[in-house]
Amino acid sequence: MTTTDELPKAYDPTDVEPRWYRRWVEAGYFHADAESDAPPFTIVIPPPNVTGSLHMGHALFVAIQDTLVRWRRMQGRNTLWLPGTDHAGIATQTVVERELLRTEGKTRHDLGRDEFLRRVWSWKEQHGGRINEQMKVMGASLDWARERFTLDDGLSRAVREVFVTLHEEGLIYRARRLINWCSRCRTALSDLEVEQQDEAGSMWHLAYPVEGSDERLVVATTRPETMLGDSAVAVHPDDPRWQHLIGRRARLPLTGRTIPIIADAELVSMEFGTGAVKVTPAHDFGDFETGLRHGLDQLTILDLGGLVCAPAPERYVGKTVAEARALVLADLEAEGLLVETKPHTIPLGRCQRCDTVVEPSLSMQWFVKIAPLAAPAIAAVERGETRFVPEMWTKTYMHWMTNIKDWCISRQLWWGHRIPAWTCVGCGELTVAREAPTTCTKCGAGTLTQDEDVLDTWFSSALWPFSTLGWPDKTRDLATFYPSQVLETGHDILFFWVARMMMMGIHFMGRSPFQTVFLHALVVDERGDKMSKTRGNVIDPLDVVHGATLDALLDKAKQGGAPASALANVKQAFPEGIPASGADALRFTLAAMAAQGRNIRLAPARVEGYRHFVNKIWNASRFAMMNLEGVDADAFAAKLAAGPAGTDLAIADRWILSRLQRVTRELNEALESFRLNDAAAASYRFFWTELCDWYIELAKPAMQSDVELDGGARRRAAQGTLAHVLDSAMRLMHPLMPYITEEIWQRLPRAVGAPASIVIARYPVVDARWEDDAVERAMALLMEASVALRNVRAEAQVPGAQVMQVFVCVADPERRRVLEEHAGVVERAARAKLTVVDAFPAGAGTKAIVGGDVELFVPLEGLIDFDAERARLDKELAKMEKEIEGVERKLGTASFVERAPADIVEKERARLAEAVARRERLAAARAALGTAA
């Protein structure tokens, strides 16, 4: 127990939060025991980029996953939330290269592969831990003893094992193909790493003279510079316009080459453009296929840096795409071969990482043959082994999986898992092996060189659910924790990551890696725009937690390279900076807004609202601390265990205990079905509206009174109830708000044998015996009467301190009994003195009607504004008329009475009866006031 003066009036999360995390870790609460008999609950973290920094997306998944994990842990599950980071090939390498250039003016090639990798590792050692520390601030209850990194020895071994096995099975192959090439990153990319966008471009019509004729064949193109690499012109076989040209040759301008005119029904559409298409097999995916069909030459006229190269004519060599385009167009124009130029929207692919326009490029790469892996991953979802939440993602997953194309997995980078393939210098034989071979398997020579390339980062991420548990060894962890129960991540990486984990997990473990895939929405700003540094609308979760001054925000934006417009946005959004709200408030906000299937527009005002909620929790608890001295938690627990029969609890006690059962049910059900927003809303309503606004206010007299008319029993009941409800509420809300709930729970009187921390306390379960409809109905009436009287007070401007005399008439005997027996509730809530009578005393006053037959008369001689009173009653009467009219119409419809369910009809009848009774009483009250003077 603590006394009030030790507790500050305002909750300060920055003081409370950091204290707990270390203690939880030291106590080992987050550590999962592979030997435990308890049913496991496993979630693997979506590994953040090792050099990354916490952003709202991370904060969101921490809030969601930690809530699920803490809830399951409190339910007694053997809970494993496995942490780790991703080496993020391109991203990390780029960052280190940039740093190297900035500080030493060198490129990675200046250092050489080994030295460069040493630098990346040292960068990782220096910056790699940051995001983990940031997740700890958020309260993430991760099992740090099991932390993994995708480039760990163990995980690297798993990667080699998978690569070699798939190669042996014929599912990994090497081929010279057209792939997406980023000339800035100088690496191949998978289809997914290319972002398609429609951009403004042009459509040019170019004339190719037909050999041995005066005719010209006009082709339409959006990329005229690629004509330097054309190896044919295609027309539709059925097109009457060009029938006679099929099989002849065209003179390719500017090059001195001639190319065949071919017929291809697949590539060419007669209606589009000019009906004739230039074919450039080495620089266009459609043309590549066409080239294969017709055995055309594949002429590469762009080098790896994106510059024109031979066999393009010397004049163009070394030019960029843009330069070459301008030059080609000018040259064609000069020769009179540029027929037409018009604006045209073109789909353009850009590198996800650096925004460079991606070029289709012909090169030797490694691929995963994906269809045989996709089929079982589709089947697993079809038979329900894995399900998606929200369900709508199933369709998206299926669609992508059924149209999937082979996955290009080799990257021309240095940072990553090097491809375990070696070429014999002597005979050229390619060997794929788990460990570096010493001699060539074919010719026995001893000199082999390893493939220079590394694997796509997502290749190792795809193995994450089992590689992190020790695979390929048959470990105890693997047996206990695979498959995981839930995979929770953003829908933006459904294909990148989730689908690939499904495929690999099923192929190598025989079972889908997750029972449920829960996909959350993306966090965007208040206006629905994606958060970005250039917009200046980024909200750093840590700034919300710790607070930040405007200057600090501006400094950070500047360092991040934000433009002036962005700085202005920051100034406008946070003129006062951001107040320190704590991890609890941020987590609760994210949970409350994480409704399924929508973007989360993070509004700062919303965070503020929930920060106030956290403070409310603090103060309600502070009140409790001041009034719970000497409470005997064990005695009250025994009372609860005995059930409500014959209890000495007051109606308010019974009511809040009943409401507690309901909110307990709501929370368990909401968490069970991943509706965190409902869990948050139910918590909020219960704690603030029901517990604080009603229960605590009603319990005050019993707890604060100096007189103990009943020998202290009433006080003990209220104290016991409040202590129990608070204890339960803290446990209920702990998964959502770990810090404040622990802080308060530690200070509450607890039963003997209670655990040392709320982290491992039991999550509340419903005790249906304490749910009581009759009590809730009675309280509803008392509350309604109280509100009506408060309204009278406000309208009639009765001073807050003045106790109002109130006379009550009730027709219904049961309601009369409730009001007589529990008059104290209304008296306390409305600051009134209640007298139940058969007839009202004479005199001026105001009348309120509750629930049809409860009339509340407040004699207010001299205080009544009769005009206002008449207006108020007229308004209420009109409302009643309208309602009665509506319900009567409904009940007057034969089909309604006949076809609607009986209980609904009954409800409508009751509603009508109440409205009619209310109207009568209102009319009488109105009549008593007469007409205006």
Partner RNA sequence: GGGCGGAUAGCUCAGCGGUAGAGCAUCGGCUUUACACGCCGGGGGUCGCAGGUUCGAAACCUGCUCCGCCUACCA
The 4-33 site mask, x for binding RNA (CB under 7 A), equals: -----xxx----------------------
Which is nearer to RNA, 477 or 827 (by Cβ)? Answer: 827
* The binder of RNA chosen from 145, 212, 272, 473 (CB under 7 A): 272
| Candidates 145-153, 477-485, 671-679, 716-724; binding stretch for RNA (CB under 7 A) | 671-679
The distance of closest approach from Cβ of residue 654 to RNA in the complex, given in angstroms and rounded to an integer, is: 19
State whether residue 221 is helix, strand or coil: strand
The distance of closest approach from Cβ of residue 537 to RNA in the complex, given in angstroms and rounded to an integer, is: 13
The distance of closest approach from Cβ of residue 280 to RNA in the complex, given in angstroms and rounded to an integer, is: 9
* The binder of RNA chosen from 18, 273, 313, 824 (CB under 7 A): 273
Query: What's 405's DSSP letter?
Result: -
* The binder of RNA chosen from 246, 327, 550, 692 (CB under 7 A): 692
* The binder of RNA chosen from 436, 568, 780, 904 (CB under 7 A): 904
The distance of closest approach from Cβ of residue 748 to RNA in the complex, given in angstroms and rounded to an integer, is: 15
Please give the torsion angle defined by the CA atoms of residues 343, 347, 349 and 355, in that order, rounded to the nearest 10 degrees.
50
The structure tokens listed for 625 are 């601390």
Which is nearer to RNA, 606 or 822 (by Cβ)? Answer: 606
Which is nearer to RNA, 167 or 611 (by Cβ)? Answer: 611
The distance of closest approach from Cβ of residue 755 to RNA in the complex, given in angstroms and rounded to an integer, is: 26
| Candidates 86-94, 168-176, 300-308, 686-694; binding stretch for RNA (CB under 7 A) | 686-694
Judged by CB under 7 A, the number of residues near RNA is 98
Q: CA quadruple 502, 505, 506, 508: dihedral positive or negative?
A: positive
Judged by CB under 7 A, the chain residues 248 through 267 that form the site for RNA are: 267
Query: What's 578's DSSP letter?
Result: B
Judged by CB under 7 A, the chain residues 195 through 214 that form the site for RNA are: 195-196, 198
Which residue's structure tokens are 């990319």?
A: 189
Q: CA quadruple 864, 867, 870, 871: dihedral positive or negative?
A: negative
The distance of closest approach from Cβ of residue 605 to RNA in the complex, given in angstroms and rounded to an integer, is: 4
DSSP string, 838-893: SSPPSS-EEEEEETTTEEEEEE-TTT--HHHHHHHHHHHHHHHHHHHHHHHHHHH-
* The binder of RNA chosen from 1, 27, 371, 392 (CB under 7 A): 392
The distance of closest approach from Cβ of residue 612 to RNA in the complex, given in angstroms and rounded to an integer, is: 3
Query: What's 229's DSSP letter?
Result: G
The distance of closest approach from Cβ of residue 99 to RNA in the complex, given in angstroms and rounded to an integer, is: 29
Sequence letter at residue 273:
G
**Residue 174 engages RNA in binding (rule: CB under 7 A):** no
Burial of 800 (C-beta count, 10 Å sphere; 0-12/13-18/19+) = exposed
CA angle 604, 610, 612 (to 5 degrees): 105
The 699-738 site mask, x for binding RNA (CB under 7 A), equals: -x---x----------------------------------
The distance of closest approach from Cβ of residue 197 to RNA in the complex, given in angstroms and rounded to an integer, is: 8
DSSP string, 588-640: HHHHHH--TTS-EE--HHHHHHHHHHHHHHHHHHHHHHHH-TT--HHHHHHHH
Which is nearer to RNA, 192 or 542 (by Cβ)? Answer: 192
The distance of closest approach from Cβ of residue 426 to RNA in the complex, given in angstroms and rounded to an integer, is: 41
Judged by CB under 7 A, the chain residues 521 through 560 that form the site for RNA are: 526-528, 530
Q: How many CB atoms lie within 10 A of CB 435?
A: 9
Judged by CB under 7 A, the chain residues 459 through 498 that form the site for RNA are: 492, 495
Which is nearer to RNA, 127 or 911 (by Cβ)? Answer: 911
The distance of closest approach from Cβ of residue 340 to RNA in the complex, given in angstroms and rounded to an integer, is: 12
The distance of closest approach from Cβ of residue 9 to RNA in the complex, given in angstroms and rounded to an integer, is: 5
State CA 157 to chain mean position distance: 32
CA angle 249, 252, 256 (to 5 degrees): 105
Which is nearer to RNA, 492 or 648 (by Cβ)? Answer: 492
Which is nearer to RNA, 396 or 757 (by Cβ)? Answer: 396
Contact 590, 54 (CB under 8 A): no
Three-state helix/strand/coil letters over 173-204: EEEEEEEEEECCCCEEECHHHEEEEEEEEEEE
* The binder of RNA chosen from 320, 396, 450, 516 (CB under 7 A): 396
Give the separation between CA 280 and CA 296, rounded to whole angstroms: 9
* The binder of RNA chosen from 35, 114, 125, 271 (CB under 7 A): 271
**Residue 791 engages RNA in binding (rule: CB under 7 A):** yes
Query: What's 227's DSSP letter?
Result: G
CA 304 to each of CA 513, 556, 818: distance values in angstroms, whole numbers, following the listed order: 39, 36, 86
The distance of closest approach from Cβ of residue 906 to RNA in the complex, given in angstroms and rounded to an integer, is: 11
Judged by CB under 7 A, the chain residues 771 through 790 that form the site for RNA are: 786-787, 790
**Residue 458 engages RNA in binding (rule: CB under 7 A):** no
Nearest to 144 by CA among 207, 70, 83, 230: 83
Contact 832, 826 (CB under 8 A): yes
The 571-610 site mask, x for binding RNA (CB under 7 A), equals: ----------------------x-x-xxxxx-x-xx-xxx
Contact 855, 921 (CB under 8 A): yes
Q: Residue 98, CB half-sphere, CA atoms under 13 Å: how many?
A: 9
State CA 717 to chain mean position distance: 43
Judged by CB under 7 A, the chain residues 114 through 173 that form the site for RNA are: none
The 285-324 site mask, x for binding RNA (CB under 7 A), equals: xx--x-----------------------------------
Judged by CB under 7 A, the chain residues 28 through 67 that form the site for RNA are: none
* The binder of RNA chosen from 164, 307, 354, 626 (CB under 7 A): 626
Nearest to 688 by CA among 729, 718, 650: 729
CA-based end-to-end distance of the chain? 63
Q: How many CB atoms lie within 10 A of CB 629?
A: 11
The distance of closest approach from Cβ of residue 898 to RNA in the complex, given in angstroms and rounded to an integer, is: 7
Sequence letter at residue 633:
A
Judged by CB under 7 A, the chain residues 796 through 825 that form the site for RNA are: 797, 800-801
Which is nearer to RNA, 118 or 598 (by Cβ)? Answer: 598
Which is nearer to RNA, 131 or 401 (by Cβ)? Answer: 401
The distance of closest approach from Cβ of residue 91 to RNA in the complex, given in angstroms and rounded to an integer, is: 18
Which is nearer to RNA, 89 or 275 (by Cβ)? Answer: 275
The distance of closest approach from Cβ of residue 693 to RNA in the complex, given in angstroms and rounded to an integer, is: 4
| Candidates 136-144, 268-276, 293-301, 645-653; binding stretch for RNA (CB under 7 A) | 268-276
Long-range contacts of 529-533 (CB under 8 A, 24+ apart): 531/55, 531/56, 533/557, 533/560, 533/561, 533/562, 533/566
Task: Report the relative pairing of strands 194-209 and 338-351 from DSSP bridges.
Answer: antiparallel
Judged by CB under 7 A, the chain residues 217 through 236 that form the site for RNA are: 219-223
State CA 770 to chain mean position distance: 36
